[in-house]
Amino acid sequence: MFGLGGKSLTLGDVGASISSSGAILLGRRVACDAHKDGRPVRVVTHVHYDHILGLERSLRYCRKVVMTPATRDILQVLRGVDLRIGKISALNYG
């Protein structure tokens, strides 16, 4: 539970849950910080190991993988691959 505008809410109240793989599921289409089959959009918030679980599967099966340019650049160095492919959307802060 968390508070919002003086009300107590659960993740379910805002259409969010956590999968057994650790993915934060947002609505019906987005998985955040781990891969979840059937979700067309994956968000990677940062490069800690537990936040890039299943990244290879997401790059293969998701329609979009969203991250900041800094996260993309660090992953490119760590993985040794070019992540500037059309499937990846690099979003700036702000």
Instruction: Give me the residue label for tokens 């955040």.
Output: 32
Model's pTM, two decimal places?
0.81
Domain regions of the chain by residue span: 16-90
pLDDT at 63: 96
Q: Return the beta strands (E) in the chain as ranges.
A: 2-4, 7-9, 16-18, 24-26, 30-32, 41-43, 64-67, 88-90
pLDDT at 13: 60
pLDDT of residue 4: 53
pLDDT reported for residue 79: 84
Q: Which of 4, 54, 45 is nearest to 26 (CA)?
A: 45
Residue ranges in the chain whose pLDDT is less than 50: 1-2
